[in-house]
């Protein structure tokens, strides 16, 4: 049992971010189902091309990654915010690197802070350094445009919406006919 004094808002915020796969600010039924089954929607076969791209990004090791990996969840949240705010990942990299062709830890920290891209994670500097290290696969101490693209390019908010819709329909309806009938009921309004 967890002692009440150990339950602090920062830890609850981090737990919410881990549970909230779609980064909508709350836990949904499909989040609980995903957690119980320890599934990552990016790696399941119904995600299609997104799953293959996502696995390539992380060197194929995503199959061994838990749904509770905070670094993966943080990278996902940053990628979704970047894809929503910028017209291209190149543009976001240029801004993060201040047109210097590489992103240092300080630049990354400032960029993430300005976007409020890790809202709810409440990361300390050492945890932010661990996250940066995760994105820097060759441990160079800076991120290249290729590192940036590999980390964030597969998280696109418009594709995320389709994955979320697909999973919501799967969790909410017993068969295709009931889902179809539900969506058709909006046509006469």
With contact defined as beta carbons under 8 Å apart, do 70 and 14 qualify? yes
CA atoms within 13 A on the CB side of 93: 18
Over the stretch 3-46, which tens digit does the pLDDT of each residue have?
Answer: 888 878 877 777 777 777 767 677 777 777 777 776 766 555 44
Distance between CA atoms of residues 57 and 4, nearest Å:
39
Copy the structure tokens of residue 158: 């418009």
Report helix, strand or coil for 93.
helix
Q: Where are the domains of the chain?
A: 4-166
Do 30 and 168 contact (CB within 8 A), yes or no? yes
Instruction: Check whether 60 has a pLDDT greater than 60.
Output: no
Q: How far apart are CA 35 and CA 68, in angstroms?
A: 8
Q: How confident is the model at residue 129 (pLDDT cuts 50, 70, 90)?
A: very high
Does 107 or 50 have the greater pLDDT score? 107
Tokens 């990004």 found at: 57
Structure confidence at residue 85 (pLDDT): 93
Distance CA 117, CA 113 (A): 7
User: Cβ neighbours of residue 132 under 8 Å, at least 6 residues apart?
Assistant: 105, 108, 109, 143
């Amino acid at each position: 049992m967890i002692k009440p004094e150990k339950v602090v808002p920062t830890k609850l915020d981090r737990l919410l971010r881990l549970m909230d796969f779609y980064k909508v600010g709350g836990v949904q039924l499909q989040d609980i189902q995903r957690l119980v089954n320890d599934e990552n929607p990016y790696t399941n076969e119904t995600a299609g091309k997104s799953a293959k791209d996502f696995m390539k990004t992380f060197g194929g090791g995503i199959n061994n990654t838990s749904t509770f990996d905070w670094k993966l969840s943080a990278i996902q949240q940053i990628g979704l915010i970047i894809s929503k705010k910028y017209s291209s990942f190149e543009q976001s990299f240029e801004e993060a690197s201040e047109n210097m062709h590489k992103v240092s830890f300080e630049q990354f920290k400032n960029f993430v802070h300005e976007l409020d891209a890790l809202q709810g994670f409440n990361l300390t500097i050492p945890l932010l350094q661990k996250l940066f290290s995760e994105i820097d696969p060759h441990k160079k101490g800076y991120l290249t445009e290729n590192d940036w693209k590999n980390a964030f390019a597969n998280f696109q908010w418009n594709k995320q919406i389709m994955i979320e819709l697909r999973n919501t329909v799967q969790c909410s309806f017993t068969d295709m006919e009931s889902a179809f009938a539900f969506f058709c009921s909006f046509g006469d309004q």
